[in-house]
Amino acid sequence: ARNLHACARKISSEYGGKFPDTVDGLMALPGIGPYTAAAIAAIAFGKSATVVDGNVERVVARLFNIDTPLPAAKPEIRAKAATLTPQRRAGDFAQAMMDLGATICTPKSPACTRCPIAGLCDARAGGTQALRPARAPKKPRPVREGACFWLMRDGHVWLRRRADKGLLGGMMEVPGTPWADGKAAFTGEPLDHAPFDAAWTRVPGLVEHSFTHFHLELAVFTARTRRKHIAGEGLWVPIGDLAGEALPSVMRKVAAHAMPEAGTIFTKR
């Protein structure tokens, strides 16, 4: 939403309210990357732009039997796709290629006998279509650790808002430590990082959540207080209203781990 608003403002202030119709112009807008820029240029403006999404990558990798593993193969795939992109009706071609990958040249069990370009496909000729696109072995995600502190008062829980920039920017969270690799999460004991003085109790087990680039393990501590005013930024939220808060999945897991009845709130919506 922030990128959409920034994009609209830039179009209004720098482009006189007119959407740019070139790939370079589109990529200068907030939140628009190479794929989206090419797709808009080709489909909306009829430009001869090379559109490459996951479906097109798969079609091209099989068509030319490219054995270089992804993501290293991306430049070669894009170059091959560019040789196929026509000067006229590039938008129709882009949509046809994406549809071909989505419906016929699928990741598993491609329907080669129904494919309109099967006779041109090098991977089918070599019997390697199931192996394309080639993929490098996945590296294990690094593990980061941290702790969260679930503080309750009269049916309320203390939450705070994350910084606008960065992972899960602007969303609500249960206060906790920074997330760091291994034991580097704590320079001392986890409770040394607690945002409040309270009789904290460790909940058995860990909350686990996988992000794109790392796996997270969180210890959860709970406490109760009678204090209305807590140092630092945050607010008391009725536990029954948690489903209406912008809590990311990992924080919903924390809530369910700290207080199982809180977890049922999210399943009722």
The answer to whether 202 and 150 have CB atoms below 8 angstroms apart is no
Asked if residue 262 and residue 159 are part of one domain, the reply reads yes
Regarding pTM above 0.95, the answer is no
Percentage of residues of the chain with pLDDT beyond 70? 96
The answer to whether 201 and 223 have CB atoms below 8 angstroms apart is yes
pLDDT of 188 strictly over 80: no
Give 146's strand partners: 218
Last residue of a domain, one of 80, 104, 131: 131
Q: Is 102 exposed, middle or buried (0-12, 13-18, 19+ CB in 10 A)?
A: middle
pLDDT at 230: 81
What number is the average pLDDT over the span 195-220?
92
Tokens at 242, concatenated: 């948690």
Percentage of residues of the chain with pLDDT beyond 90? 75
Q: For residue 56, give the nearest of 79, 37, 33 by alpha carbon.
A: 79
Give 208's strand partners: 217
Tokens at 170, concatenated: 């602007």
Q: What is the three-class DSSP state of 116?
A: coil
Last residue of a domain, one of 103, 131, 159: 131
Q: What is the mean pLDDT of the chain?
A: 91
CATH number (domain holding residue 184): 3.90.79.10
pLDDT of 185 strictly over 60: no
Structural domain of 107: 33-131
The answer to whether 260 and 177 have CB atoms below 8 angstroms apart is no
Selected residue with higher pLDDT from 187 and 34: 34
CA-to-CA distance for 132 and 207, rounded, in angstroms?
36
Last residue of a domain, one of 131, 161, 184: 131
Asked if residue 93 and residue 38 are part of one domain, the reply reads yes
| DSSP conformation letters of 43-86 | IIH--------HHHHHHHHHHTT--SPBTTTHHHHHHHHHHH--
The least confident of 16-20, 100-104, 195-199 is: 195-199
